[in-house]
Amino acid sequence: MQTTGVAVIGFGTVGTGVVGLLLEDGDRLAHAAGCRLVLRRVCDVDLDRPRDVSVPADLLTTRAEDCLNDPDVQVIVETVGGTTFAVDLMKQALAAGKHVVTANKAALAERGPELFRAAHAAGRSISFEASCAAGIPIIRAIRDGLIANRISGLTAILNGTCNYILTRMSSTGAAYGDALAEAQAKGYAEADPTLDVSGEDARHKLAILGALAFGTHVDLANVYVEGIRGISPQDITFGAQLGYVLKLLAIGRFQDGGLSLRVHPTFIPAENPLATVTGADNAVLLTGHAVGDTFYEGPGAGRMPTASSIVADLVDVALGRAQLTFQHIAWLAGRSPSVAMQPIAGVRSRTYLRFDVADETGVLAAVAGALGRHDISVASVLQREPTRPDSVPLVITTHEAREGNVADALAEIQNLPFMNCPAVRIRMLDRHHEDAP
Active site residues: 205
Q: In the β-sheet with 126-127, what is the strand arrangement from edge to edge?
A: 60-61, 36-43, 3-9, 75-78, 99-102, 126-127
Amino acid code (one letter) for 285: L
The β-bridge partners of 251 are 155, 262
CA distances for 379 relative to 162, 171, 261, 363, 396, angstroms: 28, 27, 25, 17, 7
Angstrom distance (rounded) from CA 18 to CA 39: 10
Hey, how many other C-beta atoms are within 10 angstroms of the C-beta on 361? 7
Shortest CA distance to 280 belongs to which of 137, 132, 135, 164?
164
Hey, how many other C-beta atoms are within 10 angstroms of the C-beta on 398? 21
Angstrom distance (rounded) from CA 40 to CA 419: 66
- How would you classify residue 306: left for phi > 0, otherwise alpha for psi between -120 and 50, otherwise beta? alpha
Angstrom distance (rounded) from CA 38 to CA 27: 10
Angstrom distance (rounded) from CA 41 to CA 69: 11
How are beta strands 424-428 and 348-357 bridged, if at all?
antiparallel
Shortest CA distance to 53 belongs to which of 83, 102, 13, 85?
13
Shortest CA distance to 350 belongs to which of 240, 404, 429, 269?
429
Q: CB neighbours of 176 closer than 8 A, spacing ≥ 6?
A: 165, 169, 228, 229, 231, 232, 233
What is the DSSP secondary structure assignment for residue 49, as one 8-state letter? Answer: S
Angstrom distance (rounded) from CA 109 to CA 79: 16
Q: How far separated are the first and last CA of the chain, in Å rounded? A: 51
Question: Do 116 and 332 meet the contact criterion of CB atoms below 8 Å apart?
Answer: yes
